[in-house]
Amino acid sequence: MVYDYYASGAEDQWTLHENRNAFSRILFRPRILVDVSNIDITTTIMGYKISMPIMVAPTAMQKMAHPEGEFATARAASAAGTIMTLSSWGTSSVEEVASTGPGTRFFQLYVFKDRNVVKQLVRRAEKAGFKAIALTVDTPRLGRREADIKNRFALPSNLTLKNFEGLDLGTIDKTNDSGLASYVAGQVDRSLNWEDVKWLQTITKLPILVKGVLTAEDAKLSVQAGAAGIIVSNHGARQLDYVPATIMALEEVVKAAEGKVPVFLDGGIRRGTDVFKALALGASGVFIGRPVIYGLAADGERGVRKVLQMLHDEFELTMALSGCRSIKEITRAHITTPWDGPRVSPRL
Protein backbone atom coordinates (compact mmCIF):
# COMPACT_ATOMS: atom_id res chain seq x y z
CA MET A 1 0.00 0.00 0.00
CA VAL A 2 2.74 2.46 0.99
CA TYR A 3 4.93 1.72 -2.04
CA ASP A 4 1.95 2.11 -4.38
CA TYR A 5 1.07 5.43 -2.72
CA TYR A 6 4.54 6.86 -3.38
CA ALA A 7 5.15 5.28 -6.78
CA SER A 8 1.87 5.59 -8.63
CA GLY A 9 0.27 8.32 -10.71
CA ALA A 10 -3.25 9.19 -11.79
CA GLU A 11 -5.49 7.07 -14.00
CA ASP A 12 -3.56 5.62 -17.00
CA GLN A 13 -0.28 6.99 -15.57
CA TRP A 14 0.63 8.38 -19.00
CA THR A 15 1.97 11.59 -17.49
CA LEU A 16 3.85 9.59 -14.84
CA HIS A 17 5.87 7.86 -17.58
CA GLU A 18 6.06 10.99 -19.75
CA ASN A 19 7.64 12.95 -16.87
CA ARG A 20 10.64 10.65 -17.33
CA ASN A 21 10.47 9.90 -21.04
CA ALA A 22 10.42 13.57 -22.08
CA PHE A 23 13.92 14.08 -20.68
CA SER A 24 15.24 11.37 -23.03
CA ARG A 25 14.18 13.43 -26.06
CA ILE A 26 16.37 16.39 -25.06
CA LEU A 27 19.97 16.01 -26.25
CA PHE A 28 23.17 17.83 -25.37
CA ARG A 29 25.31 20.13 -27.54
CA PRO A 30 28.50 19.97 -25.47
CA ARG A 31 31.24 22.54 -25.97
CA ILE A 32 34.85 21.35 -25.99
CA LEU A 33 38.26 22.74 -25.05
CA VAL A 34 36.90 24.77 -22.16
CA ASP A 35 39.06 24.88 -19.02
CA VAL A 36 36.85 22.99 -16.56
CA SER A 37 39.48 22.47 -13.86
CA ASN A 38 37.29 24.51 -11.49
CA ILE A 39 33.52 24.10 -11.47
CA ASP A 40 31.16 26.01 -9.20
CA ILE A 41 27.67 24.51 -8.90
CA THR A 42 26.51 26.74 -6.03
CA THR A 43 23.57 29.06 -6.57
CA THR A 44 21.30 31.47 -4.74
CA ILE A 45 17.59 30.69 -4.35
CA MET A 46 15.22 33.32 -2.92
CA GLY A 47 18.26 35.08 -1.44
CA TYR A 48 19.72 31.93 0.17
CA LYS A 49 23.01 30.50 -1.06
CA ILE A 50 22.87 26.73 -1.50
CA SER A 51 25.39 24.10 -2.56
CA MET A 52 23.60 23.15 -5.79
CA PRO A 53 20.40 23.99 -7.70
CA ILE A 54 18.86 20.73 -6.43
CA MET A 55 16.32 20.98 -3.60
CA VAL A 56 13.95 18.62 -1.79
CA ALA A 57 10.32 18.70 -2.91
CA PRO A 58 7.42 18.36 -0.45
CA THR A 59 6.31 14.74 -0.11
CA ALA A 60 3.64 13.70 2.35
CA MET A 61 3.71 11.26 5.24
CA GLN A 62 7.41 10.36 5.15
CA LYS A 63 7.30 8.21 8.28
CA MET A 64 5.51 5.62 6.15
CA ALA A 65 8.87 5.22 4.35
CA HIS A 66 11.13 5.24 7.42
CA PRO A 67 10.55 5.70 11.18
CA GLU A 68 12.54 8.96 11.21
CA GLY A 69 10.62 10.36 8.23
CA GLU A 70 10.91 14.12 7.81
CA PHE A 71 13.56 14.33 10.57
CA ALA A 72 15.98 12.28 8.47
CA THR A 73 15.18 14.22 5.30
CA ALA A 74 15.67 17.56 7.07
CA ARG A 75 19.05 16.54 8.45
CA ALA A 76 20.20 15.14 5.10
CA ALA A 77 19.16 18.27 3.18
CA SER A 78 20.91 20.46 5.74
CA ALA A 79 24.08 18.34 5.53
CA ALA A 80 23.97 18.63 1.74
CA GLY A 81 23.68 22.42 2.04
CA THR A 82 20.36 22.63 0.25
CA ILE A 83 16.68 23.46 0.85
CA MET A 84 14.03 21.06 2.16
CA THR A 85 10.32 21.70 1.60
CA LEU A 86 8.05 20.25 4.30
CA SER A 87 4.61 19.02 3.28
CA SER A 88 1.47 20.26 5.07
CA TRP A 89 0.68 16.55 5.32
CA GLY A 90 3.93 15.71 7.07
CA THR A 91 4.13 13.05 9.76
CA SER A 92 6.42 15.53 11.57
CA SER A 93 5.40 19.10 12.42
CA VAL A 94 7.08 22.36 11.43
CA GLU A 95 8.34 22.70 15.00
CA GLU A 96 9.77 19.17 15.03
CA VAL A 97 11.57 19.68 11.72
CA ALA A 98 12.96 23.02 12.96
CA SER A 99 14.28 21.22 16.06
CA THR A 100 16.58 19.02 13.92
CA GLY A 101 19.04 21.91 13.65
CA PRO A 102 19.97 24.63 11.17
CA GLY A 103 18.94 24.57 7.54
CA THR A 104 16.99 26.56 4.96
CA ARG A 105 13.44 25.22 4.75
CA PHE A 106 10.25 26.03 2.83
CA PHE A 107 6.71 25.05 3.88
CA GLN A 108 4.27 23.58 1.38
CA LEU A 109 0.71 24.74 2.00
CA TYR A 110 -2.71 23.38 1.10
CA VAL A 111 -5.52 25.85 1.69
CA PHE A 112 -8.19 24.37 3.92
CA LYS A 113 -11.85 25.37 4.06
CA ASP A 114 -11.20 26.69 7.57
CA ARG A 115 -9.02 29.75 6.94
CA ASN A 116 -8.11 29.99 10.62
CA VAL A 117 -6.26 26.69 10.18
CA VAL A 118 -4.35 28.23 7.24
CA LYS A 119 -3.41 31.27 9.32
CA GLN A 120 -2.23 29.07 12.18
CA LEU A 121 -0.11 26.88 9.90
CA VAL A 122 1.52 29.83 8.16
CA ARG A 123 2.29 31.61 11.43
CA ARG A 124 3.75 28.44 12.92
CA ALA A 125 5.95 27.95 9.84
CA GLU A 126 7.14 31.56 10.11
CA LYS A 127 7.85 31.22 13.82
CA ALA A 128 9.75 27.96 13.21
CA GLY A 129 12.07 29.77 10.81
CA PHE A 130 10.78 28.55 7.47
CA LYS A 131 11.78 30.89 4.65
CA ALA A 132 9.03 30.59 2.01
CA ILE A 133 5.55 29.18 1.38
CA ALA A 134 5.08 26.80 -1.54
CA LEU A 135 1.36 27.14 -2.25
CA THR A 136 0.04 24.03 -4.01
CA VAL A 137 -2.65 25.15 -6.46
CA ASP A 138 -3.39 22.03 -8.54
CA THR A 139 -5.37 20.08 -5.93
CA PRO A 140 -8.94 21.43 -5.57
CA ARG A 141 -9.77 17.72 -5.64
CA LEU A 142 -7.45 14.74 -5.44
CA GLY A 143 -6.59 13.05 -8.73
CA ARG A 144 -7.89 9.53 -9.38
CA ARG A 145 -5.01 7.40 -8.11
CA GLU A 146 -6.31 3.94 -8.85
CA ALA A 147 -3.62 2.12 -6.87
CA ASP A 148 -4.78 3.95 -3.73
CA ILE A 149 -8.41 3.12 -4.49
CA LYS A 150 -7.55 -0.56 -5.02
CA ASN A 151 -5.52 -0.64 -1.78
CA ARG A 152 -8.08 1.44 0.16
CA PHE A 153 -5.18 3.63 1.21
CA ALA A 154 -5.17 4.85 4.82
CA LEU A 155 -2.48 6.39 7.02
CA PRO A 156 -1.04 3.60 9.22
CA SER A 157 -2.61 3.75 12.69
CA ASN A 158 0.68 4.55 14.44
CA LEU A 159 1.11 7.79 12.44
CA THR A 160 -0.66 11.16 12.43
CA LEU A 161 -0.52 14.34 10.35
CA LYS A 162 1.51 16.21 12.95
CA ASN A 163 0.79 19.75 11.72
CA PHE A 164 -2.92 19.22 12.41
CA GLU A 165 -2.80 17.70 15.89
CA GLY A 166 -5.42 19.35 18.07
CA LEU A 167 -7.10 21.10 15.12
CA ASP A 168 -10.05 18.67 14.70
CA LEU A 169 -9.39 18.14 10.98
CA GLY A 170 -10.29 14.49 10.87
CA THR A 171 -8.02 11.58 10.00
CA ILE A 172 -7.04 9.60 6.91
CA ASP A 173 -8.96 6.41 7.61
CA LYS A 174 -9.79 3.32 5.61
CA THR A 175 -12.84 3.79 3.37
CA ASN A 176 -14.24 1.98 0.34
CA ASP A 177 -12.16 4.41 -1.73
CA SER A 178 -8.82 6.11 -1.13
CA GLY A 179 -8.83 7.40 2.44
CA LEU A 180 -6.73 10.37 1.31
CA ALA A 181 -9.20 11.30 -1.44
CA SER A 182 -12.03 11.26 1.10
CA TYR A 183 -9.98 13.39 3.51
CA VAL A 184 -9.14 15.98 0.83
CA ALA A 185 -12.77 16.16 -0.27
CA GLY A 186 -13.74 17.02 3.28
CA GLN A 187 -10.99 19.52 4.12
CA VAL A 188 -9.37 21.23 1.12
CA ASP A 189 -10.99 24.38 -0.27
CA ARG A 190 -12.21 23.85 -3.83
CA SER A 191 -12.98 27.55 -4.21
CA LEU A 192 -9.27 28.52 -4.08
CA ASN A 193 -8.55 31.23 -6.67
CA TRP A 194 -6.17 34.09 -7.53
CA GLU A 195 -7.69 36.37 -4.89
CA ASP A 196 -6.57 33.85 -2.27
CA VAL A 197 -2.96 34.16 -3.44
CA LYS A 198 -3.27 37.88 -2.69
CA TRP A 199 -5.00 37.15 0.64
CA LEU A 200 -2.13 34.89 1.66
CA GLN A 201 0.26 37.82 1.25
CA THR A 202 -1.75 39.77 3.82
CA ILE A 203 -1.18 37.12 6.53
CA THR A 204 2.55 36.48 6.00
CA LYS A 205 5.73 38.29 5.08
CA LEU A 206 7.19 35.09 3.63
CA PRO A 207 7.61 34.92 -0.16
CA ILE A 208 4.97 32.76 -1.86
CA LEU A 209 5.87 30.28 -4.58
CA VAL A 210 2.94 29.12 -6.71
CA LYS A 211 3.35 25.35 -7.18
CA GLY A 212 1.45 23.62 -9.97
CA VAL A 213 1.81 25.98 -12.96
CA LEU A 214 1.92 24.36 -16.43
CA THR A 215 0.90 27.17 -18.82
CA ALA A 216 2.08 30.61 -19.92
CA GLU A 217 -1.32 32.06 -19.01
CA ASP A 218 -1.07 30.93 -15.39
CA ALA A 219 2.57 32.00 -15.19
CA LYS A 220 1.52 35.57 -16.10
CA LEU A 221 -1.36 35.48 -13.59
CA SER A 222 1.04 34.24 -10.89
CA VAL A 223 3.31 37.23 -11.44
CA GLN A 224 0.31 39.60 -11.46
CA ALA A 225 -0.94 38.08 -8.18
CA GLY A 226 2.36 38.89 -6.48
CA ALA A 227 3.98 35.44 -6.43
CA ALA A 228 7.70 35.53 -5.60
CA GLY A 229 8.37 32.43 -7.69
CA ILE A 230 6.76 29.70 -9.80
CA ILE A 231 7.15 25.93 -9.50
CA VAL A 232 6.34 24.10 -12.72
CA SER A 233 4.76 20.92 -11.40
CA ASN A 234 2.11 18.35 -12.32
CA HIS A 235 2.08 17.00 -8.75
CA GLY A 236 4.28 14.05 -9.65
CA ALA A 237 1.70 13.08 -12.30
CA ARG A 238 -0.77 12.36 -9.51
CA GLN A 239 -3.50 14.85 -10.41
CA LEU A 240 -4.70 15.31 -14.03
CA ASP A 241 -3.39 12.60 -16.35
CA TYR A 242 -2.37 13.59 -19.91
CA VAL A 243 -0.92 16.94 -18.92
CA PRO A 244 2.56 17.47 -20.38
CA ALA A 245 5.72 16.40 -18.62
CA THR A 246 6.99 19.27 -16.50
CA ILE A 247 10.16 19.56 -18.60
CA MET A 248 7.96 20.04 -21.70
CA ALA A 249 5.96 22.82 -20.02
CA LEU A 250 8.99 24.57 -18.52
CA GLU A 251 10.15 26.76 -21.40
CA GLU A 252 6.66 28.18 -22.03
CA VAL A 253 6.38 29.17 -18.37
CA VAL A 254 9.90 30.66 -18.24
CA LYS A 255 9.20 32.83 -21.29
CA ALA A 256 5.89 34.04 -19.83
CA ALA A 257 7.53 34.93 -16.50
CA GLU A 258 9.85 37.29 -18.44
CA GLY A 259 12.53 37.08 -15.75
CA LYS A 260 10.30 38.83 -13.21
CA VAL A 261 10.35 35.84 -10.83
CA PRO A 262 12.42 32.66 -10.70
CA VAL A 263 10.91 29.51 -12.20
CA PHE A 264 11.62 26.07 -10.73
CA LEU A 265 10.97 22.56 -12.04
CA ASP A 266 9.47 19.72 -9.98
CA GLY A 267 8.88 16.33 -11.58
CA GLY A 268 10.75 13.54 -13.33
CA ILE A 269 14.31 14.41 -12.27
CA ARG A 270 16.32 11.22 -11.77
CA ARG A 271 19.86 12.18 -12.81
CA GLY A 272 22.25 15.11 -12.88
CA THR A 273 21.80 15.22 -16.67
CA ASP A 274 18.09 15.99 -16.07
CA VAL A 275 19.04 18.88 -13.77
CA PHE A 276 21.28 20.36 -16.46
CA LYS A 277 18.51 20.10 -19.08
CA ALA A 278 16.07 21.91 -16.78
CA LEU A 279 18.53 24.75 -16.16
CA ALA A 280 19.31 25.00 -19.89
CA LEU A 281 15.57 25.52 -20.47
CA GLY A 282 15.47 28.38 -17.97
CA ALA A 283 14.82 26.83 -14.55
CA SER A 284 16.56 28.48 -11.60
CA GLY A 285 16.62 25.15 -9.77
CA VAL A 286 14.82 21.83 -9.42
CA PHE A 287 12.94 20.01 -6.66
CA ILE A 288 13.34 16.26 -6.12
CA GLY A 289 10.47 14.14 -4.79
CA ARG A 290 10.38 10.38 -5.31
CA PRO A 291 14.18 9.79 -5.36
CA VAL A 292 14.37 11.31 -1.86
CA ILE A 293 11.53 9.09 -0.62
CA TYR A 294 13.17 5.98 -2.09
CA GLY A 295 16.52 6.91 -0.52
CA LEU A 296 14.74 7.47 2.79
CA ALA A 297 12.98 4.10 2.57
CA ALA A 298 16.23 2.31 1.71
CA ASP A 299 18.53 3.77 4.36
CA GLY A 300 16.99 6.67 6.29
CA GLU A 301 19.10 9.82 6.56
CA ARG A 302 22.10 8.12 4.94
CA GLY A 303 19.91 7.10 2.02
CA VAL A 304 18.72 10.67 1.42
CA ARG A 305 22.30 11.98 1.74
CA LYS A 306 23.39 9.40 -0.84
CA VAL A 307 20.67 10.44 -3.31
CA LEU A 308 21.57 14.12 -2.98
CA GLN A 309 25.31 13.36 -3.31
CA MET A 310 24.74 11.27 -6.44
CA LEU A 311 22.69 14.01 -8.08
CA HIS A 312 25.31 16.61 -7.05
CA ASP A 313 28.16 14.60 -8.56
CA GLU A 314 26.30 13.72 -11.75
CA PHE A 315 25.28 17.33 -12.31
CA GLU A 316 28.82 18.57 -11.76
CA LEU A 317 30.13 15.98 -14.25
CA THR A 318 27.49 16.97 -16.82
CA MET A 319 28.58 20.59 -16.49
CA ALA A 320 32.23 19.66 -17.00
CA LEU A 321 31.52 17.51 -20.05
CA SER A 322 29.29 20.26 -21.52
CA GLY A 323 31.94 22.93 -21.04
CA CYS A 324 30.20 24.90 -18.28
CA ARG A 325 32.10 26.17 -15.23
CA SER A 326 29.24 27.89 -13.40
CA ILE A 327 25.44 27.85 -13.37
CA LYS A 328 25.27 31.09 -15.39
CA GLU A 329 27.25 29.47 -18.22
CA ILE A 330 24.50 26.87 -18.80
CA THR A 331 22.51 28.16 -21.78
CA ARG A 332 19.76 27.09 -24.19
CA ALA A 333 22.52 26.56 -26.79
CA HIS A 334 23.81 23.57 -24.77
CA ILE A 335 20.78 21.43 -25.65
CA THR A 336 18.56 20.57 -28.57
CA THR A 337 14.88 19.67 -28.17
CA PRO A 338 12.26 18.02 -30.38
CA TRP A 339 10.53 21.36 -30.89
CA ASP A 340 13.64 23.13 -32.20
CA GLY A 341 13.66 23.78 -35.94
CA PRO A 342 16.54 22.69 -38.17
CA ARG A 343 19.74 24.26 -36.88
CA VAL A 344 21.52 26.46 -39.41
CA SER A 345 25.28 26.37 -38.91
CA PRO A 346 27.03 29.73 -38.95
CA ARG A 347 29.35 30.29 -41.90
CA LEU A 348 32.92 29.77 -40.82
Q: Any known ligand binding at 269?
A: yes
Give the model's pLDDT for residue 181. Answer: 59
The reported pTM is 0.94
Q: Which CATH class is domain 1-336?
A: alpha beta
242 among the known binding-site residues?
no
235 is catalytic: yes
Buried b (16+ CB within 10 A) or exposed e, 121-151: bbebbbebebbbbbbbbbbeebbbbbbbeeb
Per-residue confidence of the chain (348 residues) as pLDDT tens digits?
A: 999 999 999 999 999 999 999 999 999 999 999 999 999 999 999 999 999 999 999 999 999 999 999 999 999 999 999 999 999 999 999 999 999 999 999 999 999 888 998 999 999 999 999 999 999 999 988 899 999 899 988 888 899 889 888 776 656 666 666 556 566 566 788 999 999 999 999 999 999 999 999 999 999 999 999 999 999 999 999 999 999 999 999 999 999 999 999 999 999 999 999 999 999 999 999 999 999 999 999 999 999 999 999 999 999 999 999 999 999 999 999 999 998 877 666 666
Query: Domain residues of the chain, as ranges?
Result: 1-336
- Asked whether residue 141 is marked as a ligand-binding residue, the answer is no
Q: Is 266 annotated as a binding residue?
A: yes
Active-site position among 17, 66, 235, 312: 235
- Please report the pLDDT score of residue 17 as a whole number: 98
Percent of the chain at pLDDT exceeding 70:
93
Residue 8 marked ligand-binding: no
Residue 6 known to bind ligand: no
Q: What is the pLDDT of residue 28?
A: 98
